[in-house]
Structure 1
Amino acid sequence: MNSEYELKRRSSSPESPPHRRRRGESSNKELKRIDYVLIYELDEEEKDDAKTQEKNKLRNKFKEAIWEEGLEMQEDEITDSKNFDKKNIFIKIHVPFERICTQAERVAVEMNIRGLSIPEDPPPSYLEWFYEFERKHLKTDNEAKKIFTIDGRSVERYTVDSVATTFEKEKMKIFENHSDVNTFFRPALRCFLANDILINIDIRDEADRQNEPLNRKGLKYMLMEKIFLDAFIMHDESDIDPMEEEEKKKKEREFGSRFVIDDPPEGKKLILPDTRKELHESWLRYRKYQPLWKIRNYFGEKISLYFAWVGTLIVSLWIPTLLGLAIFFYGLYLSIEHNINNTNQLNATDPLTLTKSYVERSIQVIRQAFDNKVTPYYALIMCLWGTLFLEFWKRKNAELAYRWDVDYFEETEPDRPQFQGTQKKRDPVTQEEIWYYPFKRQLFKFMFSFSILITMVFFVLISVAMVILYRVYTAVNLCSDPKICIIVNALVPALLNAISIMLLGKLYEILAYKLTNWENHRTQTQYDDALIIKLFAFQFANSYASLFYIAFFRGINYGKDGIFGLGEKYTDSCGTDNNCMAMLSLQVLVLMIVKPLPKFLKDIILPWLLKKWRLRKICRGKRRVDDTESAQKKKSLTLPDFLERERLKPELGDFTLGEYTEKVLIYGYLMIFAASLPVAPLIALIVYLIDIRVDAGRLLWWYRRPISTIAQDIGMWYGILYVLNVIGVISNACLIAFTSHWGRSFDETYKKLLIVIGFEVCD
């Protein structure tokens, strides 16, 4: 690294032993990229209390384990931009090519074989114009392009498939791009392998292993005990990073300034492809396809499959959106025609009364427009659409998994470091002794977790019932004054409902994580699937319970007993004409519009404010640290600045878990209550279109780089989508038969049941 970018080195570690070059290994110079960063506080090295000394001992032991793994480190002392009297030590870790190859072999990574790619067939002559237009104006991926020799000519074509096999170091020469050690592993795979090495380090000695055989002391333990304050993977540098000032963007970027541990070879400027710039220019444009290959190469398969799923959903939503708009405008025409005579009969002359009357009638017209004579056919089409969408996605998922060579990943997926095997058995294939966890114990844990889940869902239903009870009671006993009625019958129930949702949600989230950890899942995929089921089951009850009540229970005539057996006067009707379908439509409409707003506030407004605040703090910090810095140096972002800036970025957390939950909940509104809101596909389409670009910006610029993860599908979310489709068929059939204006025109119950049965048969 140039001295311009060098800070005082805190410690020196012995040089790694020179690796003997293996047969087939490239002889080109390897750039020592910063693959991982660990942080601890400088002051802790100087404290003498027993607790701090124990931390220092464990930290040094972990650093020794890193060296023993064949990784390389450097330490920099950097001033904390939030507290200028505090200094942190940044440990920059580089994984040598030889070591990352070893890890790739252990994880059984699939790599493409050189010269075994199949080109796509040329398009028919009558479609050449369309393919040319698509290539120039819509396509964003060129990673799948290769040069093929066809009929003696070199032709650039997209590949249909590349033959891959499990990576082996001894057979390096058979793999694509084997001669370039710096680009042989794509960025996401390198990130995955580096993280896999570090999280599997265990610093326990023999005595610890005997006393605590199930408690590993690895990176997660070190972070939990604050032995290391933080750990992260750096983003690749970019010319268009919005975190840099305008003059810094214009400076020529040279590889080696921020990302490599050692200087580049003499006389060479090693330029790294600006991956984030390429993604920004193609991914954040609405009029182009998503660059799924680029996303996969930078963020990994799990995140890329999420964006592929959302993209597929967006494309498939256009047909129900147009159909829903047509049905809504038809219903609006009928509603206006029905209400126009009543409007003309208004005799009031007071402007305030007239305005109030027109507003009320306008709302009534819109509510009635959602429930018209063609609504049953729309609901049937939406249920069919849900089935077709899942089939279409299943095919798309299989295609991507096959082309990315991850379609059998779960069969060879490595164990989680947190997995605790308690007994041994012989592997029937390799004949090796392997640890496993007895099925009976795990089954008991699953049953216990399921009982907790059912209990928490029951508490949600109780909280909803209590809010309904409060609202009905206050409507009868405390609503003599309209002003008081608004507070006690509208605001207070909403506040109580919000408080119960937040408290129960936070409590259950903590329980869900603890229970899933306790269940002791072997692989990360199994762990994620179990966690998804727990969290979404609670979200399902939380989000849809009140809507199911409006759709099927509110407005029921309980006779002399009244609701909850309180008496005849305690009823809960749906307003004018007891039209619960109109009330349900309005409620779903409000939820679909309001629910994404906090997320957009958190993901757009808050990061923008934090970015401005961080830049202000960093600039003030630089002036305090060195007011005599030359003007030329001020124009270049130093490596310490970049490291500190990356540290200050917020963590994404489990990105796909949160995003899938939000998108699938909206999908649930769309499917389960399709009959009540024909414009629901339009709202969902707008939300998805905005959110997918916001998510791209978050990943590229505003948040830390997430740890790359390999995945072959979207996991348990596919099963959840299937269940929502099934519930949607039943729910829409009952809405049409028992709640809609069309269904209520049939007096006989058996006719309504025939409608439900017919609906089920058609789907």
Structure 2
Amino acid sequence: MGDPDVLEMVQEEERRAGSEERFFEQDLSSRESSFLISEEPRFKKDEQSKDSIFFRDGIRQIDFVLSYVDDIKKEAELKAERRKEFEQNLRKTGLELEIEDKMNSEDGKTYFVKIHAPWEVLVTYAEVLGIKMPIKESDIPRADKIPFSCMLGPLKLPRNVKHPHAEYFTAQFTRHRQELFLIEDESSFFPSSSRNRIVYYILSRCPFGIEDGKKRFGIERLLNSHTYSSAFPLHDGQYWKPSEPPNPVNERYTLCQNWARFSYFYKEQPFNLIRDYYGEKIGIYFVFLGFYTEMLFFAAIVGLACFIYGLLSMHDNSSSTEICDPEIGGQIIMCPLCDVMCDYWRLNSTCLASKFSHLFDNESTVFFAIFMGIWVTLFLEFWKQRQARLEYEWDLVDFEEEQQQLQLRPEFEAMCTHRKINAVTKEMEPYLPLCSRIPWYFLSGATVTLWMSLVIACMVAVIVYRLSVFATFASFMESEASLKHVRSFLTPQITTSLTGSCLNFIVILILNFFYERISAWITKMEIPRTHQEYESSLTLKMFLFQFVNFYSSCFYVAFFKGKFVGYPGKYTYLFNVWRSEECDPGGCLVELTTQLTIIMTGKQVFGNIKEAIYPFVLNWWRRRKARTNSEKLYSRWEQDHDLETFGSLGLFYEYLETVIQFGFVTLFVASFPLAPLLALLNNIIEIRVDAWKLTTQYRRPVAAKAHSIGVWQDILYGMAVLSVATNAFIVAFTSDMIPRLVYYYAYSKNAIQPMKGYVNNSLSIFLIADFPNHTVPSEKRDFTTCRYRDYRNPPDHEDKYFHSMQYWHVLAAKMTFIIIMEHVVFLMKFLLAWMIPDVPKDVVERIKREKLMTVKILHDFELNKLKENLRMNSSDFAKHLIIQENKVHLAKSAT
């Protein structure tokens, strides 16, 4: 009775195998030929919304958009052939394309290629890229509870915005374990940032033909050759209104409402939402900027307290009291500030300037310099912890360098005529010998050196300007008015300092504008192998130049101005023409503060205006030119096409701007305690400006992964170490603090008022008769002596005009202070760095817990799968034995 049943079973198995094979062949044939058939009809305007982010069928979501314009030049056919080949190969990889004819576009000349990644493509490349996806909801509570959190309620965002998704245990996605992952809806399982990252990965590796015997591939090469005019992922809706069904939740609108509004300047940032929408690389920049701004809050409070202390003690300052006193400062006749044209002047004419100097040069200066040395250490150490916590929260613990950063640049492949075996992959790859690069390296080094020398030359030119106009200012500001006890804040030093600082800032902006373009060109000429090498090389060039460009004038005022002046009768001259610049009797700290304030404030204001207005005006003009056919549908992809491009180096310039500001806050902060406050106010605005322009004015950038701020962290560490030395030298040599302390403890003869007589003590005496004829003022006076700032022997001394013993005491005190301050600060830095772990203990425990749970979940999954396979195999094996036995039985019956 079992024989007919067994025979029917065998025949059914054979029929099913044959049908599966025929179906596979038909499916493969249809996939290979589908790209030759135009499947979609031209859309109708009334059937599609202008905010739709789907294909015409309203089901398949647009993940990426390419655009191009017909080229009427001689390369038009070549470009068309490249596009055809490229799009055919994209379809072969499984991507689905839909082309919008130029007749449907607003400007009537732009074609749009819409790209959709189906589920099969997403799961395949998610495995290739090692994207981690959720496997089980986490049982570890969030670590966002901080002390006094109830007091920070107004600063908090709604929970659904701060944490848009639940916490999960994750594992690298694999197609063979799809049942393991929490897949509720295939269309929304992969976030839009992961989808556009996968599509860009395919685009960057898709070939488009063979030229000159070499295989050409990658969307970047097609963009560089203008075969395509743009390639960008699509924003998920309008930023000013929420999306309507069937569109998914408009995260762009949520970001604009809770992040990009200036009225939310006091709110925390939705970091998880930023990461989900823009990717980890952009997300970690905003985390860093936000953390840096939070730390600046504490430095700003201490700096403001030091400034207030100087303000309150300004009228009690003995030095400025003596300078302003008509019986003391009014009787001290100072030597001329320039040769021939300048006249003698009374010390009390600098009364207001000396009071202003006390605001930044007082007892709190030393305290604040030491505090900032400790602050910068705490900032960097706590940032390590914040970064480690972020790596855990964003699944970046086992992160490997982004493959698109390690991909060969098209320019590198185009220039390579040699190939060699890669030691890692064991595959042939383009290779450029070192001898071919050396000339470009020499050119690059020479160019950077030339431009840095040009910065120094411009700084010298500004110094010459100040020296040239100084005599003019001094001739009408410090003549009879000064000798008649008229007090003025606008001394020649202050006036030339203000105008010189403004001129210097203008020169800085001009040089920076040209150098940005030259450095990019030089870096391309070096032919870097990968995008990462390109960015590292450009970072080095830009940082070195901007370091010299922005800080050279501050270093000059802090450490060189007034240090090599000489003395009356034997001054030093610049180019044997202009007399070296002197500091104000109160020191050069006021001028350093002025220089720092103008450059730092000017840069920040100019940068924010440029970042806000430049893309806004460009986008307005582009939309105005594009919208010539108002009756046509101004589609979602056309709206994004008319936005400004963020670019691959968009974050590079943001980091560079922040690091340069960090230098102003740390390198010269001893001279300007309000620098952290200015930086804090700027960053509060900067965060919202960056959020606003990224959300509303720029195309959506391609998502990329990053687990740290990269090379910028090493630069910050270097500047932190340098800041300890610069602030120690500023307090010692630019401030008047050490000479006052030496006088207080060693030379004061008044026990009740120890600082009485300090001004007179700090000024040396010069005999007017000793002036050389070519330097003596043109107007004759009845004075026999004049005073100048230095510690030199008087004219009646046997070693007249040589440095006095007090000079060497002050110099020894300055060097001692530098050594002690550096050792104290560095010791505290090392202790803090040793005491504060790079990875918090709770994060270590969370990482261990997640790894343990992931291994357990995977083990249970594989074990259950193995058991199920064994059951199925045993059943199939039994069925197979029955079939074989019946075949044997049938064969015997037949014989």
CA contact (8 A) 1:7 1:77 kept: no
- The counterpart of 1:274, out of the listed 250, 269, 276, is 250
Which shows bigger deviation, 374-383 or 95-104?
95-104
Q: Which residue of 2 aligns with 1:674?
A: 669
Q: How far apart are the structure 2 equivalents of 1:271 and 1:522?
A: 41
Q: Which residue of 1 aligns with 2:576?
A: 566
Q: Which residue of 2 aligns with 1:553?
A: 560
Q: For each residue in 1:248-277, what CA deviation from the matched residue of structure 2 results, as whole angstroms up to 9, or x when unmatched?
A: x5xx8434xxxxxxxxxxxxxx35112122
Q: How far apart are the structure 2 equivalents of 1:123 and 1:510?
A: 44
> Which secondary structure state, in structure 2, belongs to the residue aligned with residue 220 of structure 1?
helix
Q: Which residue of 2 aligns with 1:660?
A: 655
1:104 paired with 2:131, answer no
- The counterpart of 1:699, out of the listed 665, 680, 694, is 694
CA contact (8 A) 2:82 2:209 kept: no
The alpha-carbon distance between structure 1 residues 547 and 199, as it changes in their structure 2 partners (threshold 3 A), is same
Deviation at residue 299 of structure 1 after TM alignment? 0.5
- The counterpart of 2:547, out of the listed 540, 548, 560, is 540
Q: Which residue of 1 aligns with 2:181?
A: 175
CA contact (8 A) 1:70 1:95 kept: yes
The alpha-carbon distance between structure 1 residues 476 and 359, as it changes in their structure 2 partners (threshold 3 A), is closer
> What does 1:431-580 correspond to in 2, within 5 Å?
432-433=426-427, 435=429, 437=431, 444=438, 449-450=444-445, 452-476=447-471, 497=504, 501-502=508-509, 504-521=511-528, 523-559=530-566, 560=570, 562-566=572-576, 570-574=579-583, 576-577=584-585, 579-580=587-588
Deviation at residue 438 of structure 1 after TM alignment? 7.5
CA RMSD of aligned residues (A): 4.0
CA contact (8 A) 1:320 1:382 kept: yes
> What does 1:413-432 correspond to in 2, within 5 Å?
413-414=403-404, 415-418=406-409, 420=413, 422-425=418-421, 427=423, 432=426
Q: How far apart are the structure 2 equivalents of 1:374 and 1:537?
A: 32
Deviation at residue 615 of structure 1 after TM alignment? 6.7
1:231 paired with 2:204, answer no
Deviation at residue 217 of structure 1 after TM alignment? 5.0
The alpha-carbon distance between structure 1 residues 77 and 204, as it changes in their structure 2 partners (threshold 3 A), is closer
Q: Which residue of 2 aligns with 1:350?
A: none
The one-letter amino acid of 2:200's match is N
Q: How far apart are the structure 2 equivalents of 1:691 and 1:165?
A: 36
- The counterpart of 1:649, out of the listed 638, 643, 647, is 643
Q: How far apart are the structure 2 equivalents of 1:586 and 1:492?
A: 10
> Which secondary structure state, in structure 1, belongs to the residue aligned with residue 209 of structure 2?
coil
Deviation at residue 586 of structure 1 after TM alignment? 1.7
Q: Which residue of 1 aligns with 2:212?
A: 208
- The counterpart of 1:89, out of the listed 111, 127, 131, is 111
Q: How far apart are the structure 2 equivalents of 1:132 and 1:335?
A: 40
Q: Which residue of 1 aligns with 2:766?
A: none
Deviation at residue 731 of structure 1 after TM alignment? 0.3
The one-letter amino acid of 2:579's match is Y
CA contact (8 A) 1:675 1:732 kept: yes
Q: How far apart are the structure 1 equivalents of 2:380 and 2:533?
A: 22
> Which secondary structure state, in structure 2, belongs to the residue aligned with residue 73 of structure 1?
strand
CA contact (8 A) 1:729 1:760 kept: yes
Deviation at residue 592 of structure 1 after TM alignment? 2.2
Q: How far apart are the structure 1 equivalents of 2:277 and 2:206?
A: 25
CA contact (8 A) 1:673 1:728 kept: yes
1:390 paired with 2:376, answer no
- The counterpart of 1:40, out of the listed 62, 68, 71, is 68
Deviation at residue 589 of structure 1 after TM alignment? 1.6
Q: How far apart are the structure 1 equivalents of 2:402 and 2:200?
A: 18
The alpha-carbon distance between structure 1 residues 236 and 612, as it changes in their structure 2 partners (threshold 3 A), is same
Deviation at residue 606 of structure 1 after TM alignment? 4.5
Percent identity (aligned): 29
> What does 1:603-642 correspond to in 2, within 5 Å?
603-608=611-616, 621-623=628-630, 625=631, 638=633, 640-642=634-636
The one-letter amino acid of 1:317's match is L
Which shows bigger deviation, 319-328 or 521-530?
521-530
Q: For each residue in 1:381-415, what CA deviation from the matched residue of structure 2 results, as whole angstroms up to 9, or x when unmatched?
A: 10110011001001111211232122343356353
Q: Which residue of 1 aligns with 2:397?
A: 407
CA contact (8 A) 1:81 1:618 kept: no
Q: How far apart are the structure 1 equivalents of 2:379 and 2:143?
A: 29
Q: How far apart are the structure 2 equivalents of 1:360 and 1:190?
A: 67
Q: Which residue of 2 aligns with 1:721?
A: 716
Which shows bigger deviation, 131-140 or 365-374?
131-140
Q: Which residue of 2 aligns with 1:20?
A: none
TM-score when normalising by structure 1: 0.77
Deviation at residue 712 of structure 1 after TM alignment? 1.1
> What does 1:186-197 correspond to in 2, within 5 Å?
186-197=191-202
Q: For each residue in 1:449-503, what CA deviation from the matched residue of structure 2 results, as whole angstroms up to 9, or x when unmatched?
A: 45543443233223222332343245458986789x99x9789967875675455
Deviation at residue 617 of structure 1 after TM alignment? 6.3
CA contact (8 A) 1:77 1:90 kept: yes
Q: How far apart are the structure 1 equivalents of 2:532 and 2:288?
A: 18
The one-letter amino acid of 1:209's match is G
Q: For each residue in 1:138-177, what CA deviation from the matched residue of structure 2 results, as whole angstroms up to 9, or x when unmatched?
A: 1456589699xxxxxxxxxx64xx543333222222233x
Q: Which residue of 2 aligns with 1:320?
A: 299
Q: How far apart are the structure 1 equivalents of 2:503 and 2:155?
A: 52
1:50 paired with 2:74, answer yes
The alpha-carbon distance between structure 1 residues 469 and 3, as it changes in their structure 2 partners (threshold 3 A), is closer
The alpha-carbon distance between structure 1 residues 145 and 554, as it changes in their structure 2 partners (threshold 3 A), is closer
Gaps spanning 5+ residues in structure 1: where?
Answer: 16-28, 148-157, 243-248, 256-269, 347-357, 627-637
Q: How far apart are the structure 2 equivalents of 1:341 and 1:617?
A: 68
- The counterpart of 1:337, out of the listed 306, 316, 338, is 316
Q: How far apart are the structure 2 equivalents of 1:456 and 1:606?
A: 27
> Which secondary structure state, in structure 2, belongs to the residue aligned with residue 566 of structure 1?
coil
Gaps spanning 5+ residues in structure 2: where?
Answer: 1-42, 328-347, 478-489, 743-806, 826-895
Q: How far apart are the structure 2 equivalents of 1:555 and 1:133?
A: 51
The one-letter amino acid of 1:562's match is T
CA contact (8 A) 2:68 2:229 kept: yes
